[in-house]
Amino acid sequence: MLDFIMVPAVVGIIVLGIYKLFELFVRKKERLIIIEKIGDKLTPDMLNAKIEFPARILNFSSAALKFGCLFMGLGIGMLVAFAIHYNFASFVESTYYTRSTVYGSCVLLFGGIGLITAFIVELKINNKK
């Protein structure tokens, strides 16, 4: 049913996993180097100072909203594609290509609508602040 998306999805997940693994080891080395450089200059009065985080970290993160709207849109797209295929299968010759075209187009359309919805909701939340 969704064979057209499985290969790119699996390749993307594998590439992302390998990238994150390399990034993990590189960051560990960077942190160790920073600790070695700071170790000589560290004084006890530095430990009593307050730690201030940048404002970027404290802002609202909408990754969960984006993923939620994306997956909701993908689910609605699959449901609409199933309804289209089920209702119009007797009128149109139902081949593999027509089914995959209907499913693919509905999934991408409603996934895009979900991301646009997440963007609009994020803009409204940021405007209230």
- Domain limits of the chain? 1-51, 52-124
The pLDDT tens digits for 51-91 are 665 555 445 567 777 888 888 888 888 888 878 877 776 66
List the structure tokens of 88: 């119009």
Q: Which one has a higher pLDDT value, 111 or 59?
A: 111
Q: What angle do the packed helices 96-128 and 63-88 form, to 10 degrees?
A: 150
List the structure tokens of 9: 């999805």
List the structure tokens of 57: 């970290």
Query: Is-above-0.85 flag for pTM?
Result: no
